[in-house]
Structure 1
Amino acid sequence: MGEDLMVRKSKESRDECTLKISGYLDYSSMEPFIQGVRSIEEGTKKVTINFSELEFIDSTGIGAIINLAHKANDKQFEVELVGMNPEVREVFDTIGVFEIMASLQKEGM
Structure 2
Amino acid sequence: MRGPQDYGGMPAGPVDPDTHEHVPTHWEKTVDAMMMLLFDQRRRLARVDESRRMQEALGDDYHKYPYYERWLQAISWLMLEKGVYSQEELEAKKAEVRARMEAEGHGS
Give the shorter-chain TM-score range: under 0.3
Name the TM-score, length of structure 1 as normaliser.
0.27
The structure carrying a bigger helix percent of its residues is 2
Computing the radius of gyration over CA atoms, which structure comes out larger, 1 or 2? 2
Name the TM-score, length of structure 2 as normaliser.
0.27
